[in-house]
Structure 1
Amino acid sequence: MISPEAGCPVYDVDLYDDDVLSDPYPHYRALRDLGAVVWLPRNGLFALARFDDVRAALRAPGLFSSAQGVAANDHVNEMSRGTTLASDAPLHDRLRAIIAAPLLPRALEEIGPQIRAEARQLVDDLVDRREFDAVTDLAQHLPLTIVSKLVGLEDYGRGSMLRWASATFNVLGTMNPRGCAALSDVHEMRSYLGGPAIRERLRPGSWGDRIFAAADRGEVEAERCPVLMRDYLGPSLDTTIFATANLIMLFGRNPGQWDLVREDPALIPGAINEALRVESPIRGFTRHLTAAAKIGDVTIPAGSRVLLLYASANRDERKWHDPERFDVRRRASDHLGFGNGVHMCAGLHLARLEMTALLEVLAERVVRFEIGTPVLALNNVLRGLASLPVRVS
């Protein structure tokens, strides 16, 4: 089939369908095999699924713009304009500088001991139990305990953070029933964070409080403060939680790889990169083309919306040898699990810190992960687990 829009291959499958979300990798391979650019008529999107093309697009924000939104639907793109995620320079740079300040490596050194101590206590408790859920008992603990305190949200906000974070990503897909249902949670989050009493609810000196302090100094408009607070939820919660649980699942399925990490904990950073490559928490976002772009043999028209599939790029056979194999010795630091370019995940250093702290203690205490049947958390944009029973020895 040939698309009349650009003369490129067509893949007549809804990438946001439940069956596709449950097992996306055969579809990603099909897209990569079809060509550098593929038209998705069910979604009204052009798709880039190969590593080099996705990375090049992420590094060309002037052409592959975020200012018109990064969702796969017009409604959310319209309502999200002007956020850190849905903006280009210079606005993006100004907003990101504010939210990224406490997430930089030097700033995180202050909370490193707290995170490592919390990780040790958590792992000791779970290992003593022998059986636990790698999602709800292990992966969720540090982000919910540490991040909620750092952001400064009170109990009500903390109790809602997971639901809000999941909804934030669901609405960035198509407006299928899952995306539509998530809109009410997104509006609830906006109402809470944008309410007149939010500043009084924040712990003094917290990340949220610092945003309002930046507005007091004239560094950002006061009306943008609730928007910036939302930026701490998704990047600090679901993505880290899913990545952590995926690590346990991969080590359970590949005990020889866990043996390597136990014997040499210096492999932990590489293991984290490899897990983010093999099971990328973020499937991908869209971009708006500001001008016509030729990719391979296809010229995509200006004004088109293009889906950049990070998770497919991370398994591209053109980039990686035996890409579906989990190998902690692989040099995978250039994976796209955190994105790339100016919109690279601002919370990546915090995520690495949390995962490293957990793996360091697990490597001391656990010889084997015996995993049960994983339960997938269906989300339009994220891929991760809702549950993973584990028995350790």
Structure 2
Amino acid sequence: MLSAVAAHHMKLNVPVSDFDPYAEEVLRDPWPYYQELREKGPAVWLERYSVLAFFRHEQVHAILSDPYTYCSSAGVGLTNFRTETPWRKPSIILEADPPEHGRTRKVVARILSPAWINKLRPTFEREAEKLVDKVLNKGTFDAATDFCEAYPLKVFADAVGLPAEGRENLLPYGDMVFNGFGPINERFKERMGTSGQAVQWIAEVCRRESLTKDGLGADLYAAADAGELTHEEAGMLVRTLLSAGLDTTVFTLCNAMLCFAKHPDQWETLRENPSMARQAIEEVLRYEPTFHSFYRTTTKQVEIAGITVPESQKVVVFIASANRDAQRWEDPDRFDIRRRASGNLAFGTGIHGCAGQMMARLEGDILLSALARKMHSIELVGTPIHHFNNTVRGYTSIPVKTTPNK
């Protein structure tokens, strides 16, 4: 007799794979696996997790662009909130469907609007200059901790309005949140076991009285005063900003530093024209995106790429794989900052596209252009150490040596 799961995928009529996206060897170097899985067809059944997986740009884009058919409210991780009890409260923005989603998203989009964010630019630029000078004086430093972590932990946490003390709790907290989008595996359990202090600190600093009066957090509470949110929701959205806005930016900066250390010709191009920093960040996001996968759940039977998918089926989209799909990008495994990389899916797309993506791009743009103006070369002087997480990819250490511009 066929098991129910085996019968299910046969009915779907798609290739089957025992691919485990959470295995260390995959997290270390996922690209060959993605290539193989894209070649299998538009969808693959991952029998280990009983999910239908999409690796090609066309389908990933289509699924993320249709929140009515592929909903987020059943969880954007592996756990199906309709059939399993989640270990955490659903996110009131990331895991809400329209029309409910629009209410919270509107408030967040306003406080992360270009007008608001542009007010932060002078401060962000000043801090970038200070940090670049500091690491250049050192000559040899750890790009992950001394640079890529240090910058968002200063400028973004200041912008939200957090106290200066205790910010070391932000990264373990984000790590726990992103691990939670995957399976309840050893990696998740281990991080949960060590996150007590971080969770406690976050709960404390998201309260109105802990925040400065002029930051993004205070703006969320002001929206609650105006009746757009409840005060409890304001606190939850401050927490969302902190989990969504830090690790991702830190790892994007890590990936940028590593890309340029490994491709000195591309650094030379940027150094000759620092105004290309924004375009360079887009190519980093395409070539080495921080996010690798997200889940959705079908709200009805739907046909995609000739496959009939039943209602209530968990599907997983591999954003990183879509970003290197040869059907969408020419020579996708080449890092080239002259490429027009807009249209990459690093921040998702559609109504659930990352609300803070303008902030992340601003930080990347400012920091890279400051570097390009002052730094002649970036050279690896040791082996980078991977940070393993169920959803995001980054590094805990990137030892580099730099020389200033003559």
Cα offset for 1:187? Answer: 6.8
CA distance, structure 2, for counterparts of residue 312 and residue 290 of structure 1: 25
In the superposition, relative to structure 1, how do residues 388 and 197 fare at CA in structure 2: closer, same or farther (>3 Å)? closer
**Which amino acid in structure 1 is aligned with residue 401 of structure 2?**
R
TM value normalised by structure 1: 0.95
The 1:342/1:211 distance shift into structure 2, 3 A limit, reads same
Cα separation, partners in 2 of 1:197 and 1:35, compared to 1, 3 Å: closer
Give, in whole Å, the separation in 1 of the partners of 2:386 and 2:366. 25
> What is aligned with 2:23?
17
| Bigger Cα displacement from structure 2, 278-287 vs 234-243 | 234-243
Partner residue of 1:163 out of 172, 176, 187: 172
Deviation per CA, 1:249-270, whole angstroms, max 9, x where unpaired? 1111111111111112232222
2:386 paired residue among 357, 364, 376:
376
Q: 1:195, CA displacement in angstroms?
A: 5.6
Give yes or no for contact 2:347–2:353 (8 Å, CA) kept in 1. Answer: yes
Q: 93-102 or 303-312: which moved more?
A: 93-102
The secondary structure found in structure 1 opposite 2:284 is helix
When normalised by structure 2's length, the TM-score is 0.92
The AA in structure 2 aligned to 1:255 is P
Residue equivalent to 1:244: 253
CA deviations on 1:89-145 (whole Å, 9 max, x unpaired) are 122111122223232111111110000010001101111111111110111122101
Unaligned runs of 5+ in 1: none
Within the alignment, does 1:65 sit opposite 2:71 as a pair? yes
Equivalent residues of 1:140, 1:241 under 8 A apart: yes
Query: How far 1:41 moved relative to its partner?
Result: 0.8
Aligned equivalents of 1:166, 1:261: Cα separation in 2: 31
The answer to whether structure 1 residue 142 and structure 2 residue 142 are counterparts is: no
SS across alignment from 2:10: coil
Counterpart amino acid of 1:339? Answer: G
User: What secondary structure does 2:342 align onto?
Assistant: coil
Which residue in the other structure is 1:36 paired with? 42
Q: Does 1:361 align with 2:370?
A: yes
Which residue matches 2:112?
103
Instruction: Extract unaligned runs of 5+ from structure 2.
Output: 1-5
1:327 matched to 2:341: no
Aligned counterpart, 2:92: 83
1:347 to 352, 356, 364: 356
Distance 1:192 1:391, change over 3 A: closer
Q: How far apart, in 2, do the equivalents of 1:197 and 1:383 lie? A: 26
Indicate the larger mover: 273-282 or 224-233: 224-233
| 3-state SS in 1 of match to 2:52 | strand
Q: Deviations over 1:228-285 (max 9, x none)?
A: 1121113321111111111111111111111111112232222111110110100011
Question: C-alpha offsets along residues 43-95 of structure 1, whole Å, 9 cap, x if unaligned?
Answer: 12110110011011111010111111101124675733352110111221111
Letter in 2 for 1:374: P
Provide the secondary structure at the position in 1 that maps to 2:401.
strand
Q: Pick the aligned partner of 2:122 from 95, 113, 116.
A: 113
Distance 1:200 1:314, change over 3 A: same
1:45 aligns to 2:51 (yes or no): yes
Answer whether contact 2:162 2:205 (CA < 8 A) is retained.
no
Change in CA separation of 1:190 and 1:288 when aligned onto 2, cut-off 3 Å: farther
Secondary structure of 1:329's partner?
Answer: coil
Among all aligned residue pairs of Structure 1 and Structure 2, give the percentage whose two residues are the same amino acid.
37
Distance in 1 (CA, whole Å) between partners of 2:311 and 2:97 is 17
Partner-residue secondary structure (3-state), 2:96: coil
Pairwise CA RMSD:
2.0
Kindly report which structure 2 residues correspond to 1:97-246, keeping only aligned pairs within 5 A, or say none. Answer: 97-155=106-164, 157-184=166-193, 191-194=200-203, 198-246=207-255
Quote the residue 1:388 is aligned against: 398
- Counterparts in 2 of 1:216 and 1:192: CA distance versus 1, 3 Å: farther
- Whether the 8 Å contact between 2:274 and 2:373 is mirrored in structure 1 is no
Contact 1:193 1:229 in 2 (8 A): no
Q: How many residues align?
A: 393
Aligned amino acid, residue 142 of structure 2: D
Whole-angstrom CA distance in 1 between matches of 2:229 and 2:255: 37
Deviation for aligned residue 1:199: 2.0
